[in-house]
């Protein structure tokens, strides 16, 4: 028996070593090689031209990956966040000068350099309604563009394509996405897939650069693609139709959504991945928390931070969000996507890390948009995949110093949720706690569940007590405006008769209270409603970061363990 146990231990340690050695730190994202120079081309408001430019950018990036070209394309944009990223990218790549070309000069140049072999003919879907699709051929064309090195040409651009001596490589106007997948899947990269409406131009450059499959709204095809994609992969873009429907499918096959359909220039931005030193989150040290203070404490947590396109875009500069000068004076914390940012846009993460104040926590939100209770339920090895996913998350949390892990579930109290929470507790080393939000309703009354980690220490999973959301719904009695939510918080503290109340509110990132509340700082969305709610709290209620709140939860309900940890931290 002793000999058997000995070999079992060797097997376990060997398995752990092989797992740790095989993880490349990419979090499922493919590698983009770096260019030696950059070409800047202005974007076009003409959708067909914008689609063409996306394909050219993708083909240049693909050629760089295949080491037969050394230049990449930056699609010019007026977005200030991306302009900052561009300048940082130039510096990281040590590029001091860039070429500038117009669209058709760029076509000629890439044909001359044998980056573009011809064109793929398609019909542009002019219906921008996410609920309706009339033509899928732009998605089919994107797939063949990567495989045949063809520029994407809509019917409206054929005459210009002929003038520039582009030859027709393939006409995909009659080919379905289903047929495209069956015909090409053995040539494509199954590290990811792009979910995109055929009228949206963005992210096609990234899909072409890495030979990814595209899908839109047809569930039968989505199921086949998601099953084919390697588990634990990022699914790019955004779905068509109901949010829960397409996100649940991604989760069920063991992937995570990135919400990237409006991201720009990801091939070039991601080329600096691994070359930029990552900054650490700035959380309040444990020894600086005054546990003798028995006041009531409350935190506000902003929703939707797993949305990469938002965080990479206006988030850091917007006065409604991280760009507001009043943030350091309030107890707001942010759900974010630090792991994915650290891989794809490390400059975005570093800017946020520099902005962080110790009163404001940064929360890794799900490791991407996924539902833990549904994660990998369609795979035969759900538990194994959950554990590998948690181990990857842990690797990056340690790297960036993030102490709180949050997520959104279909059913927080389900057995499959609890199974995931237990694995998270075991694998996420050194986290303070976890935050659980339900898809509907967000707020679940502030219940706390406990899960023992690998050191025998209980880790709390805390649910939101209230939701700051511009909605009147009889099924959501703890949801509403700043005036209403502040009154509920005050009421519940008074009802406890001097006992310390520890609770938090999830703030809906997109709710606009202009017509439903007397928020004085306009616009009445994002941070300003949170600030208004806080200003209406009773004097005996203090707002803190959610990381501090979770430490106070641990001290209140698990004082022995917490005191030992404080002593160990001080020593």
User: Which residues lie closer than 8 Å to 429 by C-beta, 6 or more apart?
Assistant: 394, 397, 398, 453, 454
Mean pLDDT of the chain: 94
304-346 residue pLDDT tens = 999 999 999 999 999 999 999 999 889 999 999 999 999 999 9
Q: What share of the chain is helix, strand, coil (3-state, %, to 5)?
A: 40, 15, 40
Residue 269's pLDDT is what?
Answer: 98
Mean of the pLDDT values across residues 119-130? 87
Residue 566's pLDDT is what?
Answer: 85
Mean of the pLDDT values across residues 364-388? 98
* pTM, entire model: 0.94
Q: What is the 3-state secondary structure (H, E, C) of 9-41?
A: HHHHHHHHHHHHHHCCCCCCCCCCCCCCEEEEE
266-290 residue pLDDT tens = 999 999 998 999 999 999 999 899 9
**Strands of the 193-195 sheet, one edge to the other:** 213-215, 193-195, 234-237, 256-257
**List of domains in the chain:** 37-270 (no CATH), 297-545 (3.20.20.490)
* 132: confidence class by pLDDT, cuts 50, 70, 90: confident
* 213: confidence class by pLDDT, cuts 50, 70, 90: very high
Residue 8's pLDDT is what?
Answer: 37
* 472: confidence class by pLDDT, cuts 50, 70, 90: confident
Adjacent-strand bridge partners of 72: 38
Give me 170's structure tokens: 């393939």
Give me 171's structure tokens: 């006409």
* 200: confidence class by pLDDT, cuts 50, 70, 90: very high
The span from the CA of 526 to the CA of 530, in Å, is: 7
3 has pLDDT over 60: no
The span from the CA of 382 to the CA of 109, in Å, is: 49
220-240 residue pLDDT tens = 999 999 999 999 999 999 998
The span from the CA of 77 to the CA of 98, in Å, is: 15
139-155 residue pLDDT tens = 999 999 999 999 999 99
33-61 residue pLDDT tens = 999 999 999 999 899 999 999 999 999 99
How distant is the alpha carbon of residue 144 from its chain centre?
27
Residue 7's pLDDT is what?
Answer: 42
Residue 460's pLDDT is what?
Answer: 98
The span from the CA of 157 to the CA of 135, in Å, is: 17
**Strands of the 118-122 sheet, one edge to the other:** 150-154, 118-122, 168-171
């Amino acid at each position: 028996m002793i000999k058997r146990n000995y070999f079992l231990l060797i097997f376990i340690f060997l398995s752990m070593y092989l797992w740790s050695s095989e993880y490349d730190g990419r979090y499922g994202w493919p590698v983009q090689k770096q260019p030696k120079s950059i070409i800047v081309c202005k974007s076009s408001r003409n959708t067909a031209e914008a689609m063409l430019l996306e394909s050219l950018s993708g083909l240049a990036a693909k050629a760089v990956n295949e080491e037969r070209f050394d230049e990449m394309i930056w699609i010019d944009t007026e977005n200030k966040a991306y302009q900052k990223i561009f300048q940082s990218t130039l510096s990281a790549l040590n590029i001091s000068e860039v070429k500038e070309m117009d669209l058709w000069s760029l076509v000629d140049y890439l044909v001359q350099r044998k980056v573009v072999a011809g064109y793929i003919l398609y019909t542009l879907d002019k219906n921008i309604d996410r609920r309706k699709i009339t033509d899928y051929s732009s998605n089919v064309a994107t797939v063949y563009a990567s495989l045949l090195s063809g520029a994407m040409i809509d019917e409206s651009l054929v005459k210009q394509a002929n003038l520039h001596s582009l030859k027709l490589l393939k006409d995909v106007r009659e080919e379905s996405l289903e047929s495209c997948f069956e015909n090409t899947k053995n040539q494509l990269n199954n590290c990811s897939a792009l979910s995109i409406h055929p009228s949206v131009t963005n992210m096609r450059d990234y899909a072409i650069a890495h030979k990814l499959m595209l899908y839109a709204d047809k569930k039968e095809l989505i199921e086949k693609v998601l099953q084919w994609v390697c588990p634990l992969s990022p699914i790019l873009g955004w779905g068509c139709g109901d949010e829960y429907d397409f996100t649940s499918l991604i989760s069920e096959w063991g992937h995570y959504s990135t919400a990237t359909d409006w991201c720009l220039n990801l091939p070039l931005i991601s080329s600096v991945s691994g070359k930029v030193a990552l900054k650490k989150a700035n959380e309040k040290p444990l020894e600086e928390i005054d546990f003798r203070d028995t006041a009531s404490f409350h935190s506000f947590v902003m929703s939707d931070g797993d949305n990469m396109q938002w965080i990479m875009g206006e988030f850091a500069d917007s006065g409604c969000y991280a760009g507001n000068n009043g943030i350091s004076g309030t107890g707001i914390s942010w759900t974010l996507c630090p792991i994915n940012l650290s891989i794809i846009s490390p400059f975005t993460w570093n800017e946020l890390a520099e902005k962080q104040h110790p009163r404001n926590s940064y929360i890794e939100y799900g490791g991407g948009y996924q539902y833990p209770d549904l994660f990998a339920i369609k795979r035969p090895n759900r538990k194994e995949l959950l554990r590998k996913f948690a181990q990857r998350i842990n690797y990056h949390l340690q790297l960036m110093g993030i102490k709180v892990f949050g997520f959104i579930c279909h059913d927080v109290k389900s057995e499959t949720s609890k199974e995931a929470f237990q694995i998270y507790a075991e694998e996420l080393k050194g986290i303070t706690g976890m935050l659980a939000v339900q898809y509907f309703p967000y707020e679940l009354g502030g219940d706390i569940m406990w899960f023992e980690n690998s050191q025998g220490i209980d880790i709390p999973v805390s649910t939101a007590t209230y939701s700051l959301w511009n909605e009147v719904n009889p099924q959501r009695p703890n949801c509403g405006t700043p005036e209403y939510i502040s009154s509920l918080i005050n009421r519940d503290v008074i009802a406890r008769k001097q006992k310390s109340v520890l609770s938090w509110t999830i703030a809906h990132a997109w709710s606009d209270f202009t017509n439903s509340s007397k928020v004085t700082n306009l616009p009445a969305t994002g941070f300003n409603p949170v600030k208004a709610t806080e200003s209406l709290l009773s004097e005996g209620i203090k707002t803190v970061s959610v990381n501090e709140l979770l430490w106070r939860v641990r001290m209140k309900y698990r004082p022995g363990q917490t005191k030992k940890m404080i002593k160990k931290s001080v020593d």
